Amino acid sequence: MARIGFAYNQKPEDEEARTGEDEPRADEEPPSSSRHLRSRIDASSPLASVIHPSPDASSGNHTDDEFAEWDSSETIGAVEHALSGLGEVVRLEANAEFPERLRAERPDIVFNMAEGLRGVNRESHVPAMCEFFGIPYSGSDPFTLSLCLDKARTKECLAYHGIPTAPFRVLHDASTHPGSLAFPVFVKPLHEGSSKGITERNYCRTASEMRDQVAFLLDRYRQPVLVEQFLTGAEFTCAVLGNGNETHVLPIVGMNFDVLPSGSLPVYGFEAKWLWDRPDEPLEIFECPARIDEALRDTIERVVLAAYHALGCRDWSRIDVRLDAAGVPNVVEVNPLPGILPNPADNSCFPKAARAAGVSYDELIQTCVRHAADRQGVALPSNAARARRRSVARAAASS
């Protein structure tokens, strides 16, 4: 029987009590904290009506989103269940004991979904250790994971390969002029997930607005800020599976910004994800498959696959695309560690695309592992063989 190592970071279970707030979904694109947002929203803003006062909004304590990229126990349990269809699962939480446990357990292959915590190379820590010990693992290699967490280096690589991406500049100082970029622009922390630090205030129409928001982001996240031309067209996210000639795009997820509150920006940021999309009033922002014509779908898929291969992605990734004013698909983000929340109500896009393709959650996780195993020559039981063993086990249990 194959031994499947499972590397993950688990969200602290006491986070809700620690922050005094409802725990947000542990998505692939963590938000800025709601306490941080409260401190940034003027009392006259339309958002003020959906945010309650917080006594420590400006306390300077930023630990409330420190673990936002990590996964909940629900997601970890669902992934473990999926992996159990391939063999014995060995949990390997990516904490201080991880290196020693990995060396001691030496699984046949590691399924990696650990995001890491600190440093610009945090997503590469687990695969780098797997390579050190000579243990096969799923997903992209350390270089690609570090590259894709640096938005500017990613865009430089895309531009070199002729793959469309919005013009940009990296700022280390709020007083720096954005050069030839024309307003409006959109600003982001350079080394964060695409919703961490992303609010409507990141849309800047003037140099003054840009300076204020860049100064805030520099202070808040202690890292450079990416400034890029704002793309005015429709937005899509694409789940990609496979390697080499077998790489393919699952049904494209389109974003319907028409459902956002009147006057809001066509941006899927903090407000849309964490304030307006609530269990009691779900925001039907996603369309999958996206309602686009065949020509646009083919163009998006070509751009996405080109980016996937140019950046060295393996086994799976999620790639966000937005159209410019001329309707040309531009790559916005590349996430080689895509979020995989199991609950459909959580609007996790990779599982959503898989469901549209008729692929169950368990099959999605197992497919990723199989791509990794095939790439590295690791033997896993076939689906048919595993199903027969389960059938025999069930029959024995009932007799």
CATH number at residue 41: 3.40.50.20
Assess if residue 261 is contained within a domain: no
Residue among 252, 207, 235 nearest 324 (CA): 235
| Domain assignment of residue 189, given as a range | 167-230
Average pLDDT over residues 120-145: 97
The Cα-based distances of 220 to 33, 72, 174, 185, 189 in angstroms read 11, 25, 13, 19, 9
Predicted confidence band at 349 (pLDDT cuts at 50, 70, 90)?
A: very high
Is 83 in the same domain as 174?
no
Assess if residue 380 is contained within a domain: no
Assess if residue 204 is contained within a domain: yes
pLDDT, position 262: 86
Is 134 in the same domain as 176?
no
Please enumerate in sequence order all residues whose Cβ is within 8 A of that of 102, keeping only pairs 6 or more positions apart, or say none.
5, 92, 110, 129, 130, 133, 135
pLDDT, position 383: 62
Assess if residue 221 is contained within a domain: yes
pLDDT in tens, 33-90: 333 333 333 443 333 333 332 323 333 333 344 545 677 899 999 999 999 999 999 9
Is 12 in the same domain as 107?
yes
With tokens 């304030």, the residue in question is 275
Is 201 in the same domain as 130?
no
**Which residue(s) pair with 236 in the sheet?**
254, 321
pLDDT, position 268: 83
Is 134 in the same domain as 171?
no
Is 11 in the same domain as 108?
yes
Point out the domain boundary residue: 230, 252, 282. 230
pLDDT, position 28: 39
Number of CB atoms found within 10 A of residue 153's CB: 16
Assess if residue 203 is contained within a domain: yes
CA distance 203 to 186: 5
Question: What tokens appear for 45 in the block?
Answer: 């803003």
Residue among 19, 223, 31 nearest 121 (CA): 223
Average pLDDT over residues 129-147: 98
Q: Which of 2-11, 194-203, 304-313 shows the lowest per-residue confidence on average (mean pLDDT)?
A: 194-203
Q: Which of 7-11, 22-26, 221-225, 300-304 shows the lowest per-residue confidence on average (mean pLDDT)?
A: 22-26
pLDDT, position 194: 45
Q: Which of 269-273, 294-298, 325-329 shows the lowest per-residue confidence on average (mean pLDDT)?
A: 269-273
CB neighbour burial string for 27-50, b if at least 16 within 10 angstroms, e if fewer: bbbbbbbbbbbbbbbeeeeebeee
Is 89 in the same domain as 126?
yes
Assess if residue 222 is contained within a domain: yes
Amino acid at site 237: T
Average pLDDT over residues 222-249: 96
CA distance 350 to 357: 11
Q: Which of 62-76, 198-212, 242-256 has the highest average model confidence (pLDDT)?
A: 242-256
Residue among 281, 279, 274, 223 nearest 35 (CA): 274
Is 130 in the same domain as 11?
yes
Q: Are 185 and 178 in contact (CB under 8 A)?
A: yes
Give kind and range of the element (H or E) at residue 335: strand 329-335
Assess if residue 278 is contained within a domain: no
CA distance 330 to 303: 8
Count of helix runs (H) and strand runs (E) in the chain: 13, 13
Give kind and range of the element (H or E) at residue 91: strand 88-93
CA distance 138 to 318: 15
Is 112 in the same domain as 221?
no
For the whole prediction, is pTM greater than 0.85?
A: no
Question: What tokens appear for 240 in the block?
Answer: 């990609």
Predicted confidence band at 279 (pLDDT cuts at 50, 70, 90)?
A: low
With tokens 């393996």, the residue in question is 314
Q: Which of 46-60, 81-95, 200-214, 250-264 shows the lowest per-residue confidence on average (mean pLDDT)?
A: 46-60
Assess if residue 188 is contained within a domain: yes
pLDDT in tens, 106-117: 999 999 999 987
Is 77 in the same domain as 172?
no
**Which residue(s) pair with 112 in the sheet?**
7
pLDDT, position 68: 52
- The total number of structural domains in the chain stands at 2
Amino acid at site 160: Y
pLDDT, greater one: 45 or 155? 155
**pLDDT above 50 (res 140):** yes
Average pLDDT over residues 271-282: 74
**pLDDT above 70 (res 391):** no
pLDDT, greater one: 339 or 194? 339
Is 135 in the same domain as 190?
no
**pLDDT above 80 (res 395):** no
**pLDDT above 60 (res 31):** no
Q: Which of 59-63, 301-305, 333-337, 366-370 shows the lowest per-residue confidence on average (mean pLDDT)?
A: 59-63
Please enumerate in sequence order all residues whose Cβ is within 8 A of that of 225, keeping only pairs 6 or more positions apart, or say none.
170, 171, 172, 187, 188, 189, 190, 214, 217, 218
Average pLDDT over residues 356-372: 98
pLDDT, greater one: 275 or 154? 154
Backbone φ and ψ for 109, nearest 5 degrees, come out as -160, 150
Is 135 in the same domain as 177?
no
- Domain CATH code at residue 176: 3.30.1490.20
Q: Are 381 and 324 in contact (CB under 8 A)?
A: no
Residue % of the chain over a pLDDT of 90: 65
User: Which DSSP letter does residue 252 get?
Assistant: P
**pLDDT above 70 (res 118):** yes
What dihedral angle (degrees, nearest 10) is formed by the CA atoms of 391, 393, 394, 398?
140
